[in-house]
Structure 1
Amino acid sequence: MTFLTQMAAARCGTITPQVRQVLIDEKIHENDLLTRIAEGRIVIPANRNHTSLLAKGIGAGLTTKINVNLGVSEDCCNVEAELQKVRRSIELKADAIMDLSTFGDTRAFRKRAVEISPAMIGTVPVYDAVARYGKDVAAITVDDFFDVVRMHAEDGVDFMTIHAGLTQTAIQRLRITPRLTHIVSRGGSLLLDWMTANDKENPFYEHFDRLLELCRQYDVTLSLGDGLRPGSLRDATDAAQIQELIFLGELTKRCWQAEVQVMIEGPGHVPLNEVAANMLLEKKLCHGAPFYVLGPIVTDVAPGYDHITSAIGGALAAAHGADFLCYVTPAEHLRLPDQDDMKEGIIAARIAAHAADIAKGIPGAIDWDNAMSAARRDLDWDRMFGLALDPEKAKAYRASSKPVDQEVCTMCGDLCAVKRSRTILQPETDAAS
């Protein structure tokens, strides 16, 4: 039986079950959704082997989605703890989960995550190639790399980060571009090591058609990684980053020719005044493909608070065209995040995404805020908690400081402006209530 990718189906005018799910979740006309999938401006990462998936769309005219990174490492190899993070991420309404495991039985963990997750699952196969084969990076073969890609596809992974734009030309550009932090992408640094040791081209660039065939077979969405993303403000928007982005734009067209869905990964550490320009460059150079950004982090001096630095950058980035935000936790740059860190990162990313949706004019986005404002006007605390992005925290704060007048809070008490002005401006409504 011949299977169609989501892009191929859209080009035929076929409404897949995944498209139907997106139409339920989003305020977009069916024809507009199909057109944008067909053009590559929207992707629905949905591996045909991920049977527990509740499909989501990423791209033009849709709500901004958020991703959570997790996975086991050599220093923190607690599989059950990471699976609990998967469950908690879903409870906290993450749209996607990236398994970045680098140690132990990575396949068993990945398959379990796919089995229990209705959220889309992403991976970085080059990490797993190192973990699985236990070889020196230089000794990994091209077939080794592609065998791992096939394994991830078979296991039901919906999107894969592949740093195919990190070519020898891009590395040469890096060598002549003075950088403060060189390469901060793990996948990018591993491929740099392999390419330098073997004096060969990036295997994923050289054999890109082979990669596309695997993606088409399972309908895996390619997330073309930014191996040369800036890891410090000083390195943002430099020649090496843009050189790689140019290659990613060329590869995007090859994906679309093969009817493979693709999105582009972006920076990184970016000053506020350069965020909008980075979004414009990606959309121009990569032909409107969905853009997936890490943060961006807008200052380098806040370790312990990088969920805030990234939320600031993420809101601005999404308001200017980014479609998918990778969360950042307070533990960024410091250690593997725990569940508390993860929650802080998810909430911060969701705030950024929603703020951007309002700015972008996504249909219905501001309705949630209007409902909250009405509940505040009415001093209806139960309704406020029900509408809160994090009801648990809102209730805990309220319970920790009880007012004498239960209608108000301990910030203003009898001087509550909302209650006082409502009494004057809505006397009939108050009397009726």
Structure 2
Amino acid sequence: MTQLEAARKGLITEEMKTAAAAEKIDPEILRQKIAAGTAIICLNSKHAGVRPLAVGEGLRTKVNANIGTSKDDVSIDKEMEKARVAVAAGADAIMDLSTGGPVDEIRRAVIAEAGVTIGSVPLYQAALEAVNVQRKAIVDMTVDDIFAGIEKHLEDGVDFITVHCGVTRSTVERMRNEGRVMEVVSRGGSFTVEWMAHNNAENPLFEHYDKLLQLVKPYDCVLSLGDGFRPGCLADATDRAQIHELILLGELTQRAWDAGVQVMIEGPGHVPLNQIEANIKLQKRLCHGAPFYVLGPLVTDIAPGYDHITCAIGGTLAAAAGADFLCYVTPSEHLRLPTVEDVHEGVMASRIAAHAADIVKGVPGAWEQDLAMARCRKQLDWEGQFRLAIDPEKARRMRAESGVDEEHGACTMCGEFCAYKVMNERQQKEAAGG
């Protein structure tokens, strides 16, 4: 019985209890959300020793970090270090998107060692098997090849898989009729579009969706319905292809629920600030409140090297409007495979966005953290500030590097003219009757 089926029967599982405790909510509230499909628990039945992750309505906004090799950099050690840094920085989940080197070994190492929820895109596996093992083109993958890749990831214990089921021939036609600046920027989406064109056939993951549900259900793996037509630039945001795919994903969500399979929806991409809230509301309406997992969204196209910032701006607005899960973007986006330092910066940027949105959402404990920080700042309690900081190590290091005289308490920005210091001294004099 899946978490969804248990919730619908009124049963509170151990996974629900553990996840609810982490969210600081009553397990019955979480059960009701899972039963309604507005929340999910990410935990493959084969992924032992990891805490179940709840994602959805009214819960803390979660953050995912993407890692993975490419053909140009196949180092397992680098990717494992990135996984460790991402987890240490507070990432709730890691997606392994490796496309170079020993991808099976990398995925299994990440699952075994990361200690958090793991996601993947099994279509990459099928493509690599076709090219490297069977010595054929990606477009010559068979339906069986695609499903074999999915099954391998499920067996390894991946907790959620991105599947581009909404990339269909009719959606491609709408994209071409309207016109796009960047067409398809999703890697999995582009594989699927080219496969359909070459084989003059429908997307296997759409045509054989019931088979996919049957395959996934025994593992209780979450289907992350991918946005193959997500906009890759502001000019393509909220166009026919994106919205048509979203309509299809809403229909596929209902079919998954009918089969007892948990679902979340992946979202855009590059979106102007004034369209973000509408995108979130549209997704929630068309997909019946299913959890929304967004990449960014990035609010401008002109900031290579700073796209973790453009992501954080868009992610804050998206999460405040109801997005449930933020996929980070690093400073390397559009430029290179991210470094270990890029991964840290990307996680921190998205965690700041998630927390800022949680204050707006009224997530338990979010407001209280900021209030505690304010009180520590008022008292010039530096140890308290470091303890509450989202990145304590960086905050402590930056203060130490300033060479500040700890005896006087203030920082080097204002020194003796520190407003807190002035006000605290006045209050001390008043208390002493001065």
TM-score class, shorter: over 0.9
Amino acid at match of 1:345: G
Match for residue 164 of structure 1? 165
Given candidates 85, 92, 101, the residue that maps to 1:104 is 101
Match for residue 424 of structure 2? 422
Corresponding position: 1:199 with 2:200: yes
Moved more, 98-107 or 222-231: 98-107
Question: SS where residue 107 of structure 2 aligns?
Answer: helix
Q: Could you tell me how far apart the structure 1 residues matched to 2:428 and 2:364 are?
A: 30
Q: Could you tell me how far apart the structure 2 residues matched to 1:428 and 1:349 are?
A: 44
Q: 2:21 touches 2:27 (CA, 8 Å); kept in 1?
A: no
Question: SS where residue 305 of structure 2 aligns?
Answer: coil
Q: 1:59 touches 1:323 (CA, 8 Å); kept in 2?
A: yes
Q: Could you tell me how far apart the structure 2 residues matched to 1:309 and 1:373 are?
A: 27
Q: Could you tell me how far apart the structure 2 residues matched to 1:389 and 1:97 are?
A: 19
Question: SS where residue 53 of structure 2 aligns?
Answer: coil
**Displacement of 1:402 after TM fit?**
2.3
In structure 2, relative to structure 1, the CA distance for the partners of 1:7 and 1:427 (3 Å cut) is farther
Q: Could you tell me how far apart the structure 2 residues matched to 1:329 and 1:198 are?
A: 36
Match for residue 356 of structure 1? 357
| Structure-to-structure mapping, 1:340-355, within 5 angstroms | 340-355=341-356
Amino acid at match of 1:95: D
Match for residue 24 of structure 2? 27
* CA-atom RMSD in angstroms: 1.3
Residue identity (%) = 53
| Structure-to-structure mapping, 1:206-245, within 5 angstroms | 206-245=207-246
Corresponding position: 1:407 with 2:409: yes
Q: Could you tell me how far apart the structure 1 residues matched to 2:180 and 2:375 are?
A: 51
Q: Could you tell me how far apart the structure 2 residues matched to 1:407 and 1:268 are?
A: 44
Partner deviation per Cα, 1:89-115 (whole Å, 9 max, x = no partner): 111111000000112221111111111
Amino acid at match of 1:31: E
Q: 1:52 touches 1:115 (CA, 8 Å); kept in 2?
A: no
Q: Could you tell me how far apart the structure 2 residues matched to 1:179 and 1:364 are?
A: 43
Q: Could you tell me how far apart the structure 1 residues matched to 2:6 and 2:221 are?
A: 14
Q: Could you tell me how far apart the structure 2 residues matched to 1:35 and 1:106 are?
A: 38
Corresponding position: 1:304 with 2:325: no
Q: Could you tell me how far apart the structure 1 residues matched to 2:252 and 2:424 are?
A: 59
Corresponding position: 1:85 with 2:82: yes
Partner deviation per Cα, 1:254-312 (whole Å, 9 max, x = no partner): 01001100000000000000000000010001000000000000000000000000000
Q: Could you tell me how far apart the structure 2 residues matched to 1:30 and 1:243 are?
A: 36
User: If the length of structure 1 is used for normalisation, what is the TM-score?
Assistant: 0.97
Q: Could you tell me how far apart the structure 2 residues matched to 1:424 and 1:203 are?
A: 73
Match for residue 322 of structure 1? 323
Q: Could you tell me how far apart the structure 2 residues matched to 1:25 and 1:125 are?
A: 29
**Displacement of 1:424 after TM fit?**
2.3
* Structure 1 residues not aligned, in runs of 5+: none
Amino acid at match of 2:68: G
Q: 1:159 touches 1:222 (CA, 8 Å); kept in 2?
A: yes
**Displacement of 1:425 after TM fit?**
3.6
**Displacement of 1:426 after TM fit?**
5.3
Amino acid at match of 1:245: L
Match for residue 380 of structure 1? 381
Q: 2:68 touches 2:96 (CA, 8 Å); kept in 1?
A: yes
Partner deviation per Cα, 1:300-349 (whole Å, 9 max, x = no partner): 00000000000000000000000000000000000000000000000000
* Structure 2 residues not aligned, in runs of 5+: none
Corresponding position: 1:42 with 2:39: yes
**Displacement of 1:85 after TM fit?**
1.2
Q: What is the number of equivalent residue pairs in this alignment?
A: 428
Corresponding position: 1:122 with 2:119: yes
Moved more, 48-57 or 352-361: 48-57
Q: Could you tell me how far apart the structure 2 residues matched to 1:428 and 1:260 are?
A: 65
Amino acid at match of 1:125: P
Structure 1 outlier segments of 4+, above 4 Å? 426-429
Partner deviation per Cα, 1:156-194 (whole Å, 9 max, x = no partner): 000000000011111111110111111100000000010
| Structure-to-structure mapping, 1:211-290, within 5 angstroms | 211-290=212-291
Question: SS where residue 176 of structure 1 aligns?
Answer: helix
**Displacement of 1:428 after TM fit?**
6.7
**Displacement of 1:353 after TM fit?**
0.2
Amino acid at match of 1:209: D
